[in-house]
Amino acid sequence: QKMHASPSGRGGARWATSRGRAGASKHHNLGPGSRNHRYTTRAVSPCGEERELPVSSFRRAALRKGVDDELSNRWIDLDPSGYFLIRIDDARGVICAEHFLNTINADGQACDPLTGEVIPCDGSYKPRVHKSFSARTAKELSVAILEKEAEERGTVTLLVHANYLGREFQRAEDCLARGSRYIQD
């Protein structure tokens, strides 16, 4: 590709063609005081929304995703007070969190509190909801569960569980605001 001197004469250059490299597309921004060019690429947010990002931001996003993926695969002790299934209700404009009871066996597996059977992860297990919560924002939901609920018998007893819920509530709020699909991690 050929480069030409900047029209302002202040140095710098602009690309003569809009072909990008390595799958990136070319974005021209020749306005006053701006960079003469930058490369962009398509990226997908955790909620599935696509948008253009500068390559440097794309690389940082890829690095963050790699770190997140690695951390998602680490061992975390399950909370003996139970677990939450989180979803968004677009019609009502709220984040919903349903709490389910469980026990933890000697191998660290979640078990049905009535039968003692290990809870399968294939969707076939249909437990009874212990408590339901809904809120307009991640903060409102966190306060309801982690502060107000803690005054009674808490539904969260481990800090790692509270940390996980905070991240998931924030992701759910982001998807709700964007009108995107939310899938719990």
Could you list the mean pLDDT of each consecutive 10-residue stretch along the chain, which spans 185 residues? 40 36 42 50 74 73 83 84 95 97 92 94 91 97 88 83 95 96 93
- Residue-level pLDDT at 169: 98
- Residue-level pLDDT at 60: 79
The DSSP element (H or E) to which 96 belongs, if any, is strand 94-100
As a whole number of angstroms, the distance between CA 113 and CA 111 comes to 6
- Residue-level pLDDT at 2: 38
- Residue-level pLDDT at 38: 55
- Residue-level pLDDT at 52: 76
As a whole number of angstroms, the distance between CA 119 and CA 130 comes to 16
Residue in 57, 54, 59 with CA at minimum distance from that of residue 34: 54
| CA angle in degrees (0–180, nearest 5) for 97-100-103 | 145
DSSP 90: T
- Residue-level pLDDT at 182: 96
DSSP 118: B
Burial class (CB in 10 A: 0-12, 13-18, 19+), 73: exposed
As a whole number of angstroms, the distance between CA 68 and CA 5 comes to 42
- Residue-level pLDDT at 4: 40
